[in-house]
A and B are shown apart, each in its own frame.
Chain A
């Protein structure tokens, strides 16, 4: 009954011959040249991804910081102007409503980049903190976004930035600034979801296709490929990044998901779920997220496959993929504690058969 939203970059995808699939209420490209080629391009050169489906919510006003402090699990007060960090919107049980990136653009101006599937829910939760000193704007489909990722992304972005004399240099990791590229204003952050060096570019609807095409043009000599949701998923899992709806859900706390690093419990103010997270952080939770790696030639691990230690079922795979970089299966699994340690042998079950895997660090590729 509900129709699928179209990306502002849809004409670009069509011109590139992308294969389009429905995703989180949107029509989005799953691949252009092919998932493996796009995955490889991003690891070795550069990839350009449409992220216009991701929500861009702006919190403005002299009460913006206080409102965000009362809702988010990482402390927004830690951010300086032009800085961003990973954070969570939690329910009262400490479960994840959404995982997001929060950027401080100024003392009274913040940008939240949220998951498409949770965007409407996020706005509803944020509205509970609305008052005359803060406004939240940014409904689904009101902005364009793209991610330029990979070792050659700084070279490509620099070409576009240098065309304008007033631009600052490309942002340092986790920083965001205003730029003018391809004749349009954009916010550019040095963040991403691939485990590679890279940038996320946030702009308005009309500027989206112009900047997209300009980046593709600038990257022509750098083996840049447009990349779809398929490679976005395999890239993020190799980097050990969670996907909301699979690895994260309202029934899983960030501490159980192994993301306790991003929860700040030292600050005085309360936030939803804090009373559940405090004992979990201190004493450990009853479940935890581990990495699993398989062997070449074995069936790949997938979402929802059960995980066994000997005869005992200890949990379930939350995300799994045959890793294009490593040539074997990799997975994140939510298991009961005490969890087996790295290097220990486990099995998952698929089609009535057990497949051996080893416990691994959750980051499957080296940190860049």
Chain B
């Protein structure tokens, strides 16, 4: 299980990559393994305003539909267009091409998120 060092994490297994006033969100390697083969991803529309902790997307495997929560509040700027034709990217590249959406955070400094090492301690060994 990989937990990249340059990201922040939510207890609910989303990751956040901050890049000036943009934040990219995806699900962690642990989360994609638990979900197994992703076959459908429902993403938010650009312009939607969300609060931290709100259900913002749904990732569906053959077995089940799983809610994805917004790690921070903000306005959705972009949804990953590649996932409609290739949802399996979420499994293959959870931290890369399998990102879910980008948003403009309300706060310049996100709160309530975990460091890579703190997130790693929440995972089963």
Contacts and interface: CB of A to CB of B under 8 A. Distances in A.
A297 interface: yes
A351 interface: yes
Pick the most buried of A36, A39, A234, A324: most chain B CB atoms within 10 A of its CB. A36
Chain A facing B: main interface SS: mixed
A34 B84 CA distance: 21
Contacts of A298: 40
Interface stretch (B57-65, B71-79, B102-110): B57-65
B58 A300 contact: no
Contacts of A322: 39-40, 60, 62
Q: How large is the interface on B (under 10, 10 to 19, 20 to 34, 35 or more residues)?
A: 10 to 19
A35 B58 contact: no
B37 A36 contact: yes
Given A302-B65, A321-B62, A322-B62, A230 B40 contact: no
A324 B62 CA distance: 8
A39 B37 CA distance: 12
B36 A35 contact: yes
Interface string A330-349: 00000000000000000000
B93 interface: no
A63 interface: no
B61 A35 contact: yes
Nearest to B37: A36
A324 B40 CA distance: 12
Contacts of A350: 65
Interface string B36-66: 1101101000000000000000101111110
A332 to B, nearest CB: 16
Contact of B58 (A31, A233, A351): A351
Nearest to B91: A34
A36 B65 CA distance: 16
A88 B123 CA distance: 44
Given A297-B84, A299-B42, A35 B37 contact: yes
B32 to A, nearest CB: 12
A36 B42 contact: no
Given A230-B62, A299-B60, A300-B60, A31 B84 contact: no
17 contacts: A30-B63, A31-B36, A34-B36, A34-B37, A35-B37, A35-B63, A230-B63, A297-B40, A297-B84, A298-B40, A299-B42, A299-B65, A300-B40, A300-B60, A300-B65, A322-B39, A322-B60
Interface of B: 36-37, 39-40, 42, 58, 60-65, 84-85
Given A39-B62, A300-B60, 7 more contacts: A35-B63, A36-B62, A230-B62, A230-B63, A234-B62, A300-B65, A322-B62
Q: Which are the 4 A-B pairs with shortest beta-carbon distances? A: A36-B37, A322-B39, A35-B62, A234-B62
